Structure 1
Amino acid sequence: MRLRHVIATVTAGLAAVTTLTAAGPAAAPPTGSASNPSASHACSPRVSLDRFSDALDKTTYDGTFVGNFSALAVDRDGSLAALADRSFLFGLDAKTLAPRSAVHLADENGADLDSEGLVIDGDGTRLVTSETEPSIRRYSRDGRILDRLPVPSSLLVAPAGRATANQTFEGLTLLPGGHTLLASMEEPIAGDDPGLVRFQTWTRTKGGHFRLGAQYAYRIDPGLGVPEVQATPDGRLLVLERGFTAGVGNTVRLYLADPRHATDTSGIENLTGQRGVRPVGKTLLADLAACPSLGATTRQPQPNPLLDNIEGMTITGRDRTGRLTVLLVSDDNQNPAQTTRFYYLRVRA
């Protein structure tokens, strides 16, 4: 999706990694089974990078452009689902990333979505956000609309609500147990503190639908927004924060956040420094500019040539040491200067 320009801090020498032995841009991705990755692959004490893959960059499948990826999920058969923000959902081989299917998604009138967030529910149906309204719809595997979730009026795009177009539901995740769905707004709504975004939840009803639940405030770093959020097995959240500065490149940070003691802000009209409001707590896991470049190349200025417009994330499992195996993907915006890149991380949460 479109990024506003922000001011990023660039630390000299982050990309100066010359002693690593790793796969190049088109290398086959790892299986995620190796343990104790080399310390030289560390992005921080808690995050390491196994490798990356550019195998799908500027490719097509059955006549459809493969890219514009905004979200990832693990399907029930172990394959990957990759959501493109141009209204397509791709099925990918988990090991090779080779596309297996491409399903077109549409709204009730047949119009394309600005599809950004993805959850595969326990029954195999797909919950997909669109930034257009914003909205969350449930789809069958073949792309039929099965349900549509309610959205608080304040989170709708102005003039219907207080949200800004293209800055709404970017992230979507289902918390452990499958009873609570959470969507992250990318940027603040009008009337709120410019440093606070809202995380909206829904709770599952006995009939399998979702009704509105609690809402939380999450404080973003200056100039950044939230493109993705994923629940960890213990109910905390991995949160991506991201920004872009023309002539400098992307800032991408990975946080561990805990909403379990945050204040429910669903009844608070404006978040402007009220006493007694506790936002979601967060801890920095890694600034991805500090990751080893592993031989990556870039077509535009970046603080680290590894970086691009990282927008999708899913947890694929655990390694033998208990680290979460996490897969990220960048949205190339179908732009020759950008790259569709998959990143294989290990995260000690």
Structure 2
Amino acid sequence: MRLRTVLAGLTAGLAAVTCLTAAGPAAATPPRGHATPPSGHACSPHVLVDRFSDALDKTTYDGTFIGNFSALAVDRDGSLAALEDRSALVTLDARTLRPERVVPLADEHGAPLDSEGLVVEGDGTRLITSETEPAIRRHARDGRILDRLPVPSSLLVAPAGRAASNLTFEGLTLLPGGRTLLASMEAPISGDASDIVRFQTWNRTRGGHFGLAAQYAYRADARLGVSEVQAAPDGRLLVLERGFTAGVGNTVRLYLADPRHATDTGRIENVTGRPGVRLVTKTLLADLAACPSLGATAKQPQPNPLLDNIEGMTITGRDRTGRLKVLLVSDDNQNAAQLTRFYYLRVRV
């Protein structure tokens, strides 16, 4: 989501930082065989931060601005797919972050997309959310639209539905087994409690299509919205919550959530947190403000100069101790006061 559109009561814009890690752009390359980061890299008992890279900040490739990243995914050839929320999908070298290809995106009428969530399937098909309708479309590798998934009427942007503009499908993930797709709303819909967001799922049907399935309710922290969700190998979810307070900076928290015993809220008009509706359970893994700053600096007030407008997340594998290797990216909104930054985490779930 672009920062000029924010959660109710919040001010648009997040802090920026300008320095690279001490190793510079080469910090994007992990040390071979490195299993335990140096002491002092712990954000919490569950999360370690290895390093960060600003190598792509305010860069261009083949005449295209590289930034505005809202989602990440690992492609089938091992490269990184980085989704720009201004209608482009960028292929990056997973080791160096060097851009290799840019594919423009558009809707059925050729209009640009506010593209926010991304899944890359095993056959190379791209599932991409658009936040303005909202919509989820299946795209070929060249950007052609193959299909469009159904969306419950309540999740459409008002007046067609009950969602607020630019606060809809921010996260997207495919659950283990590849049969169920899950999209996370960024903010509540009208009629729900002010801290409840909906998670919608679809089940795969014939021909690679998806049909509507269960819906769940997730309670976000006060004044935070859900900016990304990724399925862990055991079916639980990594959920990224994000917010901003003017003069203070941004808050970014990583949760482990479990929807497997939650109530299907698809037929519940208003979710208020009342007894009888089992919400998605969640456990805090780390408040990223508690991470070591790793030498980062910020131009604006921040609780930790390492932080920025973090929107994208993907799981890239496991280390030798079994921790998940998680890659995050911030959305710079093509703004001189913000930054495109990649964060390399290890998460024990």
User: TM-score by structure 2 length?
Assistant: 0.94
Matches within 5 A, 1:100-111: 100-111=100-111
Instruction: Provide the residue aligned with 2:169 in structure 1.
Output: 169
Q: 1:253 — aligned with what?
A: 253
Q: Work out whether residues 322 and 348 of structure 2, in 8 Å CA contact, stay in contact via their aligned partners in 1.
A: yes
1:195 lines up with 2:201 in the alignment: no
CA contact (8 A) 1:300 1:338 kept: no
- 1:273 matched residue in structure 2: 273
2:59 is equivalent to residue 87 of structure 1:
no
| 2: CA distance, partners of 1:82 / 1:140 | 15
The 5-angstrom pairing of residues 45-194 of structure 1 reads: 45-194=45-194
Corresponding residue for residue 27 of structure 2:
28
Structure-2 separation of matches of 1:35 and 1:315 = 16
Deviation at 1:208, TM superposition (A): 1.7
- Which letter does structure 2 place at the counterpart of 1:73? A
Could you tell me how far apart the structure 1 residues matched to 2:61 and 2:272 are?
47
Q: CA deviation at 1:6?
A: 4.0
What secondary structure, in the 3-state scheme, does the structure 2 residue paired with 1:207 have? Answer: helix
Partner Cα separation in structure 2 for residue 268 and residue 174 of structure 1 = 24
Would you say the 8 A contact 1:219–1:279 is kept in 2? yes
By how many angstroms is 1:199 displaced? 0.1
State the one-letter code of the partner of 2:28. Answer: P
Q: CA deviation at 1:325?
A: 0.2
Which one-letter code corresponds to 1:293 in the other structure? S
**DSSP-derived class of the 2:289 partner:** helix
- Is the 1:129–1:135 contact (alpha carbons within 8 Å) kept by the matching residues of 2? yes
User: Any conservation in 2 of the 1:259–1:281 contact (CA below 8 Å)?
Assistant: yes
Please list the CA deviations of residues 224-268 of structure 1 after superposition, one character each: whole Å capped at 9, or x if unmatched: 000100000000000000001111111000000000011100010
Amino acid at match of 1:31: P
Alignment-derived partner of residue 232 in structure 2: 232
Cα distance in 1, alignment partners of residues 59 and 247 from structure 2: 27
User: Which consecutive residues of structure 2, in runs of 5 or more, have no partner in the other structure?
Assistant: 12-20
Cα offset, 1:27, TM superposition: 4.0
- Structure 2 counterpart of 1:305: 305
Which has the larger displacement, 27-36 or 236-245?
Answer: 27-36
Instruction: Give the superposition deviation at 1:26.
Output: 3.6
Distance 1:247 1:26, change over 3 A: farther
Q: Tell me which amino acid in the other structure corresponds to 2:315.
A: I
Q: Which residue of 2 aligns with 1:15?
A: none
Q: CA deviation at 1:206?
A: 2.6
AA matched with 1:283: T
Which residues in structure 2 correspond to 1:314-329 (within 5 Å)?
Answer: 314-329=314-329
**Comparing 200-209 and 73-82, the one that deviates more:** 200-209
Aligned AA (1:279): L
CA contact (8 A) 1:25 1:52 kept: no
Classify the secondary structure of the residue corresponding to 2:50.
strand
Which residue of structure 2 aligns with residue 12 of structure 1? none
- Following the alignment from structure 2 to structure 1, what is the Cα–Cα distance between the partners of residues 22 and 51? 7
AA aligned to 2:30 is T
In the alignment, the residues of structure 2 paired with residue 80 and residue 191 of structure 1 have an alpha-carbon distance, to the nearest angstrom, of: 38
Distance 1:299 1:92 in 2: 27
8 A Cα contact 2:332 2:338, kept in partner? yes
Measure the CA separation in 1 of the matches of 2:72 and 2:332: 15
**Per-residue deviation, 1:298:** 1.6
State the distance in 1 between where 2:329 and 2:347 align: 16
| Cα-to-partner distance string for 1:109-144 (whole Å, 9 max, x where unaligned) | 000000000000121110000001000000000000
The 8 Å contact of residues 27 and 51 in structure 2, kept in 1 or not, is answered as: no
Q: Does the CA contact (< 8 Å) of 1:218 and 1:280 recur in 2? A: yes
In the alignment, the residues of structure 1 paired with residue 327 and residue 203 of structure 2 have an alpha-carbon distance, to the nearest angstrom, of 27
The alignment status of 1:208 with 2:208, answered yes or no, reads yes
User: Is the CA contact (8 Å cut-off) linking 1:25 and 1:296 kept in structure 2?
Assistant: no
The CA deviation string for residues 85-111 of structure 1, in whole angstroms up to 9 with x for no partner, is 000000000000000000000000000
Q: Are the structure 2 counterparts of residues 168 and 25 from structure 1 closer, same or farther at C-alpha, using a change threshold of 3 Å?
A: farther
Q: Distance in 2 between matches of 1:301 and 1:88?
A: 31
The answer to whether the Cα contact below 8 Å between 1:23 and 1:52 also exists between their aligned partners in 2 is no
Identity of aligned residues (%): 77
